[in-house]
A and B are shown apart, each in its own frame.
Chain A
C-alpha cells in the first residue's frame, strides 16, 4: 500500500491505495464521491472523466498513485459556491441534455474543459471535443445545444439533423 495525497474539489485528501487502485476507484470508493461514473472501464466511454491539473482525463485509465500531489476536480466540484448549478449544468437542464444521466458527469467535465480552452466553440468543435464521451440516450444534439448555449451562443440553428 502507498499513501497518496491530492487536492480534490479544493480540499486536501489522502488515503492509502494499492499500486493498482485506479483514480476512479479512489474517488468513488475511497472518497465516496460517486458522481464520477464508470461506464465501461475500458477507456472508451468517458463517463469517468475528471480534471487532473485542469485537464480532462479518464479516471478509469489513470492510477490513483499517479495523481499524487495533483489538483483533481470531479462533478461534485462543479456547482457554484452557493450550491446552485453552474452555467454548464444549468444549460444541460434547460436544453434537455440528458436522459438517464449516466454519461452526464463526464459530459459536463469535458464540456467545461472545452469552454476553458475555447470559450465560443463552433458546433463542429463541440462534437469533435466530445469524441471520447459516449451517450446511449440523447443522440447528442441536446448535449451539443446545451454546451453551445452555456458558451453564450445562439442555439436556434443547432437543429436535430
Chain B
C-alpha cells in the first residue's frame, strides 16, 4: 500500500472540506478499499475516514415510518437494530461476509462501491429506498448505474439511507462460499400496492429489477406466479463459479424461494 495522509474528521461538514483535497478518497469500514489499496489498485493521496462522524452512525425511524440508517453504520449494527422493524434487512446485513467484516463494513461503503455481487444494493432497490448524500437525496431507481458505478459525484458522501418498510420481504442469497458474497441474490419486497424484485450477483450491469416478476407477483403473490416466466442469459455474469444460464435460472429459483419465505 502506498503512503497517504490520514484524516479523521468529526463532522460531515469537516469531511466535505477534507475530501476537497487533490486525490482524496473516503474511507468507510475499509473492508473493500484497504484490500484494493494493498493491491495498489487504488492509491489516494489523502484518505478521509468517516469512522469518527457520530452523526452518520445509527438507525432510527422517521415520521413517515421509514427506517433511516446512517451512512457509516456497520452491517452488524444494522442487523441488530432492524431485527424487529425490518427482519429481511436485518437478515441480509447479518449474513454479509463474516462477523469480523460485519463489525467494520458500512452501508455507505457497500452502496458507493456497488459491487455486482453485493447484498445491500438488492435491499435498497427492492425497498425503493432513498440514498441521502451531503448534497441531495437520490431514489434507488436512479442510484445504481451499472457494475461498480453509481450516481454519486466525486467526493459525494452517503450520509443516510431511508428504507420504506414493506408488508413482507425476503432476501435469498445463494452463497459463493469462497468470497462469501452472493453468487446470485434476490430481494422480494411486497408493499400494499405493488411488489418489487431486485436481483444482485447476476447481471453484468449490476443490480436490477426483474419487472416481469414484479408484474406477475403484484397480480398473484405466490411462488407459482413466476412459473411461466423465464430470464434471458444474455448479459448475465459467467465465471468459474457459474455460467450465464446457471445464474439466469438462479434468479427464478431464488425469487420463488423468497416469495415462499415472505
Residues of A at the B interface (CB closer than 8 Å) are: 2, 18-20, 22, 41-43, 46, 49, 52, 55-58, 61-63, 65-66, 68, 110, 113-114, 129, 131-133
Contacts and interface: CB of A to CB of B under 8 A. Distances in A.
A55 B76 contact: yes
Contacts of B3: 18-20
A131 to B, nearest CB: 4
Given A42-B35, A55-B103, A56-B103, A19 B5 contact: yes
25 contacts: A2-B6, A20-B3, A20-B37, A22-B34, A42-B35, A42-B38, A46-B98, A49-B100, A52-B103, A55-B76, A56-B99, A56-B103, A61-B31, A61-B104, A62-B30, A62-B34, A66-B8, A110-B100, A129-B99, A131-B98, A131-B99, A131-B180, A132-B98, A132-B100, A132-B180
B34 A61 contact: yes
Contacts of B47: 19
B12 interface: no
Contacts of A43: 31, 34-35, 101
Interface of B: 1-6, 8, 27, 30-31, 34-35, 37-38, 47, 49, 51, 76, 97-101, 103-104, 180
Given A20-B3, A43-B31, A66 B49 contact: yes
Contacts of A133: 98
Given A66-B49, A132-B101, A19 B4 contact: yes
Contacts of B2: 20
Nearest to B7: A19
A61 B103 contact: no
Contacts of B103: 52, 55-57
A19 B38 CA distance: 13
* 9 residue pairs, one from A and one from B, having the closest CB atoms: A132-B98, A19-B6, A131-B98, A55-B103, A20-B1, A58-B100, A56-B100, A65-B6, A19-B4
A58 B101 CA distance: 7
A114 B76 CA distance: 13
Contacts of B34: 22, 43, 61-63
Given A19-B4, A57-B100, 13 more contacts: A20-B1, A43-B35, A46-B98, A57-B103, A63-B30, A63-B49, A65-B6, A68-B8, A110-B99, A110-B100, A114-B99, A131-B97, A131-B98
Contacts of B101: 43, 58, 132
B96 to A, nearest CB: 10
Residue of B6, B35, B37, B49 most packed against chain A (CB within 10 A): B6
